[in-house]
Structure 1
């Protein structure tokens, strides 16, 4: 008797349903699925699909020291892959800035010799395993700050990515002697060329804040006459004072909120009280912070732990929940080890805290500034 079972495959589904399924598929899996058939390859490499998929992709945490570690905060799954050969010493990743799944990597560390003070710059997409080195107009140094974004006024951001370079270390005599007067420069990824901007740097960026990308622009915590949010608009290529931060002696941490706003997490080191502020939409004429919620429970952990730890990386969920990945130490001062912990905190206090790994070394300094909020994407290198 012939079987009554009907043969079925994903390819028999309507195209719009297939597309919806692929939107929910992790970027890494889609890379493996590209060779499946010509239709899938065309869809997965389509610009519209790539950016729609990016907008639906959930946040991850990334850490780079001995390996590339990516943590899913929902499933608590930690994946590890080797650091690409291009980022092995002497071009080891120091810090990164994230935008659309693209990592702008600053490689190289401070040293006593003159040649060790230079930095090498690269754009990297970990999912596509693509790396491109950026040539400087003159030199990159450890005195620089960097940003990556695009002209948000254009309908398509494809090919329109730009890189910002500036230094606020006006008292750095080494910089002046070897690189000349500090300049503000913009790199056009499309033409692969630098342009010098007529911009005056008269503020200091918080050294622990390497920048937050939102809606194509960059934002930093900075100080001049009080702490404020410094922005750089890639559409008009100008710095701007976005708004002042709420006055507080607490530690400050900046992050993106819901894609088009910023969040500011403050915590008192002694009482451990947490206050979370969020801005209105960054596209509004007047941007300001509003108190979102606060946490003052005895079970709340001290998120920074100490000044020698890597700065806190976190994001705020819609349910007024803090998801943070940070470090704590175990042992004595000279022999302590670094433990990595994922925390879930809301207004009621600590929901959960779980250890996700331990450093193999007994010193935390090499992991300084190594944590990032990251969204895996299929965006090709510009």
Structure 2
């Protein structure tokens, strides 16, 4: 007795990627089905909707690792396409944008399928003094064009230091569909991003930006390739020492540190773009010798813990939301975990998968 195709597809959509990758070898029709764009998208959408097939991807010393979500158990070292240490520039839908420590080309990497796409090299702009320039990268998804994009922002100061404007800017956008870089249509952004990390939410890449004493969240919308600014929450500006963007439950959030980075507040923007929707979720005092919270990563599945990055020590910690006690995350096979990202399984196969990295 054979099952209808619709039932087979429904069963397969419920399986983890590891099983589906193995099932590609069952027969040609299953190989074509599981590799098909429609199946890949439906499997991703179901995983996101049900909050299943999730993993942590993180740096452990000079390697990139993946572990079970919520527990950091069963860590494995990923076979990423660099021979040296790597930094995660951004992540979305289970794809990571990676940059190596020696500034080789950026790579879009899928840890689920262990495939990657090497981006074309960015040429140097003749109009910039690259010794005084800072490069900022971001990664996300254009929901209108249905295209993954990487953004490069080159900023050159005026010689008075990076906190003093004005800034020259050059913004380049890479399209995975077109496999090419092009100059963005956007005008210059009058804020310096410093060395702060970015986060992708609501079709936009966000940085904390500042010039002189003015601070705002700067957003680059991948749909129309324009910059905009979002106000920060009303907080104690005199004692403010550090600000970092993040994402919680699909909403933009902001971690603000005070008093020489000893205490932190975590805010969430309940309604995107509405200043009055900023809500303070937690106030976290420095305890047990731990440093201030740099940025949230995610809630645990049971919503009783919040995983966060800690400043300075650069490790991931869990906060018990009942007691507000902080514990550094330590798994059975590792004791140093930084730069964690929550990744959903994505069956997308990236085309440079069979290339040798040189």
1:77 Cα deviation from its structure 2 partner: 1.4
Aligned partners of 2:202 and 2:106: how far apart in 1? 23
Contact 1:168-1:203 at 8 Å conserved across structures = no
Aligned partners of 2:5 and 2:288: how far apart in 1? 48
Which of 53, 72, 77 is residue 73 of structure 2 equivalent to?
77
Aligned partners of 1:326 and 1:316: how far apart in 2? 13
Aligned partners of 1:82 and 1:318: how far apart in 2? 24
Aligned partners of 1:219 and 1:328: how far apart in 2? 19
Residue 373 of structure 1: aligned partner: 342
Residue 113 of structure 2: aligned partner: 128
SS where residue 200 of structure 1 aligns? coil
Residue 83 of structure 2: aligned partner: 88
Residue 335 of structure 2: aligned partner: 358
SS where residue 307 of structure 2 aligns? strand
Contact 2:216-2:229 at 8 Å conserved across structures = yes
Which of 100, 104, 108 is residue 97 of structure 2 equivalent to?
104
SS where residue 281 of structure 2 aligns? strand
Structure of larger gyration radius: 1
Matched length: 325
Structure 1 residues 303, 53: closer, same or farther in 2, change over 3 A?
A: farther
Which of 257, 281, 303 is residue 293 of structure 1 equivalent to?
281
Structure 1 residues 280, 370: closer, same or farther in 2, change over 3 A?
A: closer
SS where residue 183 of structure 1 aligns? strand
Contact 1:98-1:148 at 8 Å conserved across structures = yes
Q: For each residue in 1:242-299, what CA deviation from the matched residue of structure 2 results, as whole angstroms up to 9, or x when unmatched?
A: 332443415433222333x2122335467965433211343xx635542242245786
SS where residue 229 of structure 1 aligns? strand
Aligned partners of 2:172 and 2:339: how far apart in 1? 25
Which of 196, 202, 205 is residue 190 of structure 2 equivalent to?
202
Q: Pairwise mapping of residues 1-382 of structure 1 onto structure 2 (< 5 A)?
A: 18-55=8-45, 56-57=47-48, 58=51, 59-64=54-59, 65-84=61-80, 86-89=81-84, 92-109=85-102, 118-139=103-124, 143-154=134-145, 157=146, 160-171=147-158, 182-197=169-184, 198-209=186-197, 211-224=198-211, 225-248=213-236, 249=240, 251-259=242-250, 261-268=251-258, 273-282=263-272, 286=274, 288-295=276-283, 302=290, 304=292, 312=295, 314-316=297-299, 321-324=304-307, 326=309, 342-350=317-325, 354-356=329-331, 357-359=334-336, 370-381=339-350
Residue 163 of structure 2: aligned partner: none
Contact 2:245-2:295 at 8 Å conserved across structures = no
Provide the aligned C-alpha RMSD in A: 3.7
For structure 1, list consecutive stretches of 5 or more residues without a partner in the other structure: 1-10, 110-117, 174-180, 306-310, 330-337, 360-366
Aligned partners of 2:227 and 2:78: how far apart in 1? 37
SS where residue 231 of structure 2 aligns? strand
1:206 Cα deviation from its structure 2 partner: 4.3
Aligned partners of 1:315 and 1:346: how far apart in 2? 12
Contact 2:70-2:300 at 8 Å conserved across structures = no
SS where residue 87 of structure 1 aligns? coil
Aligned partners of 1:147 and 1:303: how far apart in 2? 27
Contact 1:339-1:355 at 8 Å conserved across structures = no
For structure 2, list consecutive stretches of 5 or more residues without a partner in the other structure: 161-167, 352-358
Of stretches 42-51 and 238-247 in structure 1, the one that deviates more from structure 2 is: 42-51
1:187 Cα deviation from its structure 2 partner: 1.9
Contact 1:251-1:268 at 8 Å conserved across structures = yes
Contact 2:174-2:182 at 8 Å conserved across structures = yes
Structure 1 residues 300, 170: closer, same or farther in 2, change over 3 A?
A: same
Contact 1:275-1:293 at 8 Å conserved across structures = yes
TM-score w.r.t. length of structure 1: 0.70
Q: For each residue in 1:43-90, what CA deviation from the matched residue of structure 2 results, as whole angstroms up to 9, or x when unmatched?
A: 422323323332424443222344332232424314212543x3004x
1:380 Cα deviation from its structure 2 partner: 3.3
TM-score w.r.t. length of structure 2: 0.74
